[in-house]
Amino acid sequence: MACCMLQPASTGVGGYVGCALIKDAATGEVYSVDANAQAPAGVTEDMFNPRPADEGVSGLNESEYRCSVQDNENIHGAKAVAIPGMAAAMGTIWERWGKLKWADIVAPSQKLLEDGFPYAATAGHIKSLREQIRRFPDTEKHLVPEGKEPTAEDLWHRPDMEWTLQRLAEHGWREFYEGEIAQRIADHIQQNGGALTLSDLAGYEARVTEPLSITYREARVHTPILPNGGLSVLQNLKMWEQFEIPEQDSPQFWHRFLEISKLTWRDRLTYLADPAFADVPVERLLSADYARGRTETIRNFPQHVDKLKPAPNEEFGHGTLHLSTADSEGNLVSFTISQGMGFGSLVTVPGTGIILGHGICRLDPRPGQANSIAPGKRVLNNTGTLMIEAPDRDIAVGLPGGRKIISAATTIAIRLIDYASTGYEAATAARAHAGISEPVLISEAVPEYVRESLVEMGHSLDWPAGVAGGCHAAERLADGTIQAGGNTWAAAPE
């Protein structure tokens, strides 16, 4: 809840997704909590009339779906708003496992608003999205309440959000879906041409189920159910398992990782969607037989660099946070929370301070695809929320980072399991990202001689300071010791 107040570019009470893994110490079971955005009943498959990708444009539609949409209506604005899941994620986890009273969950956030807090990183997000924010007067009024672009040091009280928190404290989290808050959300979206209705909100529920799980070497690795993004991490691990463990961070380590990641992303964009609407071959994708067949070329030609076709620029902002926690009783939580891209849909509901996420942009605007828009469909996201049960410890781990989450989370899991890294060591180590093709990203932390070797093999590299965002890892060791570690982003350990 405090993250929703402090970092609205990344998450919010109206964020599109909250997905979590919970290890319940009382039962020893691991649960998936899926509070993913769901398409409203009034959407249609062809509602955005996509056209071929505009040349030279590298936004979400162009990079992910190879098309362009008029005014990016599936990303920003009322049409981009799906049924938000974040409030239901918090509420459902609290109802099932919480120990405090609900009002006590809300109270610290109310105090934050009362005292005010620095804009901090939010000021930078506002500056980078200033032109888009100007298109939405209610959002501009909320983010820039005096009309002057804020600095990181300026204090902020989130105008109108105090009303929302008071309603939530008094009436419970379901107020977001069934009460006056829900009514204001639905009315505003309807008045501005969106599909979301009060009926959509009232019918929404988070799902608590068994997670998706695999055995990887001697560990069990869990992730939330589809269409959350962790299945791709599990598939990546199953392919990595087909090989002997290489020397950590060697040229062969990174070469193999990049080639496997390309295969994972191609399968992801071909097969993954809400399994209630598409035939997703989950068991096949996670089987050892499929992993062995998929990696045959890498085994037979270990120095080969796959250059199927050039990839467009994939750099666009993301708005996601991750929290991991553990306690002395043996409970662990791995929880990813997101607006989508920065400030989500950029739609702020008047009088509430709620900035709504934009789940619709996680569905394919092109008709006829596995992940195309459909009423009631849950959206395919890039979250890499993980819970690892290793012989010597349990680990809750995850991170933000948009498309790069899949690659980064896989690398972190490999370090934790194959190399016995601590959570802190895995969080702060070098990372890489490969989508469907070259060029690939290798963080500056990878030694220069390794990068040179990869270039000699034929890879096309970019080396940013960091790949993906800050990782949080919380561990409970076999002797009951609790430890945690993380970083604020890939190149800045704390």
* Interval 56-115: pLDDT, tens: 888 899 988 999 999 999 999 999 999 999 999 999 999 999 999 999 999 999 999 999
Confidence label for 319 from pLDDT (cuts 50, 70 and 90):
confident
Mean pLDDT of 209-217: 98
Query: What pLDDT, on a 0 to 100 scale, did the predictor assign at position 489?
Result: 61
The reply to whether 331 falls in a domain is no
Q: Say if residue 311's pLDDT is above 80.
A: no
* Helices 180-191, 161-171: inter-axial angle, 10-degree rounding: 140
DSSP for 289-300 reads: HHHHHHTHHHHH
Query: What pLDDT, on a 0 to 100 scale, did the predictor assign at position 131?
Result: 93
Query: What pLDDT, on a 0 to 100 scale, did the predictor assign at position 56?
Result: 85
Query: What pLDDT, on a 0 to 100 scale, did the predictor assign at position 81?
Result: 98
Query: What pLDDT, on a 0 to 100 scale, did the predictor assign at position 494?
Result: 35
Tell me if residue 389 falls in helix, strand or coil. strand
Strand ordering across the sheet containing 30-35:
207-209, 30-35, 17-23, 332-340, 319-326
Sequence-distant contacts of 125-134: CB under 8 A, at least 24 apart: 125/9, 125/317, 125/319, 125/342, 125/343, 126/9, 126/150, 128/317, 128/342, 129/317, 129/342, 129/343, 129/346, 132/76, 132/346, 133/343, 133/346
Tell me if residue 124 falls in helix, strand or coil. helix
Confidence label for 492 from pLDDT (cuts 50, 70 and 90):
very low
Same domain, 64 and 185: yes
Bridge partners for 489 per DSSP: 469, 492
Query: What pLDDT, on a 0 to 100 scale, did the predictor assign at position 41?
Result: 98
End-to-end CA distance of the chain: 23
The reply to whether 374 falls in a domain is no
Percentage of the chain exceeding pLDDT 70: 97
Same domain, 122 and 215: no
Amino acid at 200: D
Query: What is the rounded distance in angstroms from the CA atom of residue 318 to the CA atom of residue 487?
Result: 17
DSSP secondary-structure letter at 150?
A: P
Tell me if residue 411 falls in helix, strand or coil. helix
Farthest CA pair distance, the chain: 63
Query: What is the rounded distance in angstroms from the CA atom of residue 160 to the CA atom of residue 119?
Result: 16
Q: How high does pLDDT run on average in the chain?
A: 94
Mean pLDDT of 28-38: 98
Q: Cα angle at 322 between 316 and 325, to 5 degrees?
A: 170
For residues 265 and 365, is the Cβ–Cβ distance under 8 A? no
Query: What pLDDT, on a 0 to 100 scale, did the predictor assign at position 318?
Result: 59
Same domain, 233 and 96: no
Instruction: Of 14, 22, 8, 9, give the one whose Cα is nearest residue 323.
Output: 22
For residues 88 and 205, is the Cβ–Cβ distance under 8 A? yes
Query: What pLDDT, on a 0 to 100 scale, did the predictor assign at position 316?
Result: 47
Amino acid at 452: E
User: 185-216: string of b/e by CB count within 10 Å (b at 16+)?
Assistant: bbebbeeeebbbbbebbeebebbbeebbbbeb
Strand ordering across the sheet containing 393-398:
212-216, 219-223, 386-390, 393-398, 472-477, 482-489, 492-493
Same domain, 178 and 244: no
CATH code assigned at 480: 1.10.246.130
- What distance lies between CA 220 and its chain's CA centroid? 22
The reply to whether 357 falls in a domain is yes
The reply to whether 40 falls in a domain is no
Tell me if residue 67 falls in helix, strand or coil. strand
Same domain, 223 and 200: no
Same domain, 228 and 180: no
Instruction: Of 367, 402, 372, 368, give the one whose Cα is nearest residue 384.
Output: 402
Count of the separate structural domains present in the chain:
2
Ranges 33-37, 235-239, 266-270, 331-335: which has the least confidence? 266-270
Write the CA distances from 87 to 201, 204, 360, 460, integer angstroms. Answer: 11, 11, 17, 42
Same domain, 78 and 227: no
Tokens 């204001």 correspond to: 184
Query: What pLDDT, on a 0 to 100 scale, did the predictor assign at position 90?
Result: 98
Q: What is the pTM of this model?
A: 0.93
Bridge partners for 209 per DSSP: 32
For residues 356 and 13, is the Cβ–Cβ distance under 8 A? no
The residue segments making up the domain with residue 304 are: 209-314+382-493
Same domain, 434 and 487: yes
Confidence label for 147 from pLDDT (cuts 50, 70 and 90):
confident
The reply to whether 28 falls in a domain is no
The reply to whether 370 falls in a domain is no
For residues 33 and 92, is the Cβ–Cβ distance under 8 A? yes
Same domain, 196 and 223: no
Residues in the chain: 494
Same domain, 281 and 357: no
Query: What pLDDT, on a 0 to 100 scale, did the predictor assign at position 146?
Result: 85
Pairing of strands 319-326, 219-223: unpaired
Instruction: Of 12, 155, 169, 152, give the one whose Cα is nearest residue 100.
Output: 169
Write out pLDDT tens, residues 130-141. Answer: 999 999 999 999
Per the model's pLDDT, the better-predicted residue between 494 and 226 turns out to be 226
Per the model's pLDDT, the better-predicted residue between 291 and 315 turns out to be 291
Helix ranges (H only) for 86-204 are: 86-97, 102-115, 121-128, 130-133, 137-143, 161-171, 175-178, 180-191, 198-202
Same domain, 142 and 164: yes
Query: What is the rounded distance in angstroms from the CA atom of residue 328 to the CA atom of residue 315?
Result: 40
Instruction: Of 324, 269, 286, give the one whose Cα is nearest residue 474.
Output: 324
Confidence label for 313 from pLDDT (cuts 50, 70 and 90):
very low
Q: CB under 8 Å to 479, separation ≥6 — which residues?
A: none
The reply to whether 46 falls in a domain is no
Joined together, the tokens standing for residue 328 give 């002395």
Joined together, the tokens standing for residue 395 give 């680990």
Bridge partners for 336 per DSSP: 19, 322
- What distance lies between CA 399 and its chain's CA centroid? 8
Write out pLDDT tens, residues 322-371. Answer: 999 999 999 999 999 999 999 999 999 999 999 999 999 999 999 999 99
The reply to whether 198 falls in a domain is yes
Same domain, 170 and 300: no
Burial label for 242, CB within 10 Å (0-12, 13-18, 19+), is middle
Query: What pLDDT, on a 0 to 100 scale, did the predictor assign at position 490?
Result: 46
Q: CB under 8 Å to 55, separation ≥6 — which residues?
A: none
DSSP secondary-structure letter at 372?
A: B
Q: How many H helices and E strands in the chain?
A: 19, 21
Instruction: Of 379, 475, 469, give the one whose Cα is nearest residue 422.
Output: 475
